Amino acid sequence: MSQEKRVYKRISEKVHLTYRVIQVGSDQIFHPKDRGEGQSQDLSEGGLLFKTSEPMPLGTRLELELRFPDVRYVLYPKAKVVRLEEFNDGEYYVIGLEFNQLFENDKSLILEHIHRHSK
């Protein structure tokens, strides 16, 4: 039986996001587009999982733009790719991101959002 390794509470969350690649990871098999978009599958204080049409090497660093329906302004966290899964022979990819730069105010807003939607 595997043990749960997650530190943060996750919620299922469908939020449209855009990203900009700021540093490509060490796996040079493919090179991601400089910019792209996707839809989050879940969200936590520590990161998010999102679905996109573009693969990204592990370790790639991104700048995100997140717009939550109940938050009045845009969040711009920076994150690192820590998971990559391919589905349907490259039809789409699920990317796991770990936030590595998040302003304190943005972190508070994410926590409030998670708390409101986890009831």
Query: In the chain, where are the structural domains located?
Result: 11-117
34 pLDDT band (50/70/90 cuts)?
Answer: confident
CA end-to-end distance (rounded Å), the chain? 28
Under CATH, domain 11-117 is a member of which superfamily?
predicted glycosyltransferase like domains (2.40.10.220)
Closest CA to 17 of 54, 58, 67: 67
Cα separations in angstroms, 27 against 44, 52, 81: 26, 18, 11
- pLDDT at residue 6 above 70? no
Question: pTM of the prediction?
Answer: 0.83
* Residue 18 burial (C-beta neighbours within 10 Å; 0-12, 13-18, 19+): middle
- pLDDT at residue 1 above 60? no
Report helix, strand or coil for 42. Answer: strand
